[in-house]
Amino acid sequence: MKRLSKKCAIYATDDTIFVQIGGTITMKRMLSGIKPTGRLHLGNYIGAISQFKKYQDEYEMFIFIANEHAITVPIEAKDLRKNTKDLVALYLACGLDPSKATIFLQSDVSAHAKLGWVMTCMSYMGELQRMTQYKDKTAKGEAGITAGLFTYPPLMAADILLYDADYVPVGVDQKQHVELTRTLAERFNHRYSDTFKIPEPLTTKVGQKVYSLQDPTKKMSKSASDPKGTIDLLDDPAAARKKIMSAKTDSIGIIQYDPQDQPGLANLLTIQSVLTGEPVESIVSRYEGKGYGELKKEIGQTVFDFLTDLQARYNEILTSGKVDEVLKEGAEKASFIANKKIRKVYKKIGFTI
């Protein structure tokens, strides 16, 4: 750790800055969440969870289950309950450590809904109409789009701003929402005086968007119509290996990292690189002059081993009662911080008489 300033105690490691106040070091804060709308997939792991795990040692980390976002589309109560429990167990099985990261359920902290409404009232219709997810769904003429789907970006802003997060690790598809969060925070600060920290989105260099194995122009997603394109973290490992073996590639036949002309291959290389930690260039050079089949075999085995280990830990956690314990403790810690912030907001906007 290097001291940056002689006048005050500011230190830095490679990618973190610490400010020392009194006898303690204040860490930068990070916050992120995942919606429990379906089973988690490799895109969620690579774009989000693997980052949470990586950063939990260096940042003060808040990771939550965005269950209030999950009801923007219809979902059965029993499915939501199961997805929520699975998600916590998977967070832990993926290596999130509750002694380092505060893991909590959004609906356990009522300040999210409260600030969500305030942020909705800070947003303009035009801003929300420009949000990709809403725009895509309306462009496709989808029926039954809820008002919640339209106003969920301000709720996401509230999720972030309640905790004064410095960074928000997300996949690239969520960047637009973090940008809106910055706009809303600045607007509020301008209108009512300085209240919120302006957060920054944080995306990975490799894997900020993992694509469908069957259509590498589309992102891997929970709602994709072709299950062969998505590897769920709870897929049977042998079935997942088969999905890798049948992944769409191209007819160029040369192993190189070229997302433009060989998107399917680039996607596979990304998956292998994130799961093993081996840089993409190194994988490419090991496969010089070799065929796609051989590479797929190796990646299939990597995915098989990754899922087998992960699911063993997941099953153990689910039966251990740890999920309830972690959520109870997380709700207490998160509520303490969020309630303080909402009290401040209520005072500023004139709710507290």
Provide the annotated active-site residues: 137, 219, 222
Instruction: Decide: is 215 part of the binding site for ligand TYM (CB under 6 A).
Output: no
Across the beta sheet with 29-34, what order do the strands follow?
101-105, 60-65, 29-34, 167-169, 200-202
Q: Binder to ligand TYM among 89, 168, 244, 310 (CB under 6 A)?
A: 168
Closest residue by Cα to residue 238 from 294, 181, 149, 303: 303
Question: Which residue, 137 or 297, has its beta carbon nearer to ligand TYM?
Answer: 137
| CB of residue 341 to ligand TYM, shortest distance in Å | 15
Q: Which residue is nearest to ligand TYM (CB)?
A: 47
The residue to which tokens 């637009």 are assigned = 176
Residue 259 CB coordination number (10 Å): 15
C-beta of residue 47 within 8 angstroms of C-beta of residue 238: no
Taking the least distance from each CB to ligand TYM, the nearer of 18 and 65 is 65
The secondary structure of 27-46, three-state, reads: CCEEEEEECCCCCCEHHHHH
Tokens of 347: 């005072």
| Beta carbon of residue 247, minimum distance to ligand TYM (angstroms, whole number) | 14
- Using the contact rule CB under 6 A, the part of the chain among 19-27, 54-62, 214-222, 306-314 near ligand TYM is 214-222
Given 30, 87, 111, 170, the residue binding ligand TYM (CB under 6 A): 170
Rounded to 5 degrees, φ, ψ at 8 are -130, 165
Site for ligand TYM in 19-48 (CB under 6 A): 31-35, 43-44, 46-48
**How far, in Å, CA of 344 to CA of 272, rounded?**
46
> Contact 189/156 with Cβ under 8 angstroms?
no
Q: How many residues bind ligand TYM (CB under 6 A)?
A: 25
Binding site for ligand TYM (CB under 6 A): 31-35, 43-44, 46-48, 66, 69, 156, 159-160, 168, 170-171, 173-174, 209-210, 219-221
